[in-house]
Amino acid sequence: MPHAVGHIATVEEYFHQQDAELIEEMRRRAAADERHRQMAEACGITDSKTLEALDRLGYDETTVTLLELVPLVQLAWIGGSVSQPEQDRLLAIAGRHGVSPNTRARQQLMAWMDQCPSEAFFQGTLGVIQAVFESLPSDQRIARRSALIRDCTGVATASCELFGWTSRACAAKQKLLGEIEQHFHAEGPVSRASANAI
């Protein structure tokens, strides 16, 4: 009999644990759905896979507005640090994107300029941007891509116009700028990078 009672207690504990795990999973899913809803309201992205990719990369309803600034941050970090001219240019471009001082988005942008994000973060973000662009009507897609390349060029030239393009860092910036331009001007089906990010 003691064995039977112990067995019943074990079964009850098992089902109690299963219920607790199910409830916790439902809470996590509800929290994720709410984050996705808030991001969708903030940026206009409604595709669930894209929102999930943004969530995995660490974006939220305030920092998702920085999405198209991340390639600029990536360019600025070539050479091992973000120079003052590059920071000034990035902040000016961010201002045109509606990133105001004393906001969480501005604080996050400053943090990225202080500490370089991971290569996985950069590549994942490029993939999401590509997926977003490919969901747009042709005229909007072309305009957004052109604006992104223009902004990337502005950051790349911020220091290199002063020091010349012959330095190793500036040559690397020019190479990455060419890769970004090629990446975002590729027409046709969803790119491998965007598919992998989502």
Closest alpha carbon to 56 in 151, 178, 197? 197
How far apart are the C-alpha atoms of 1 and 109, rounded to whole Å? 65
Closest alpha carbon to 108 in 67, 145, 144? 67
The domain locations on the chain are 60-197
What does the pLDDT look like over 33-81, one tens digit per residue?
A: 667 676 666 666 777 888 888 888 989 888 888 999 999 999 999 989 9
Tokens of residue 138, six digits: 């042709």
What does the pLDDT look like over 144-189, one tens digit per residue?
A: 999 999 999 999 888 887 666 667 888 888 899 888 888 877 543 3
Strand intervals (E) in 69-132: none
Lowest average pLDDT, out of 20-29, 50-59, 116-125, 172-181, goes to: 20-29
pTM over the 0.85 mark = no
First CA to last CA distance, the chain: 55
Q: Is residue 90 within 8 Å of residue 109, measured between CB atoms?
A: yes
How far apart are the C-alpha atoms of 71 and 96, rounded to whole Å? 16
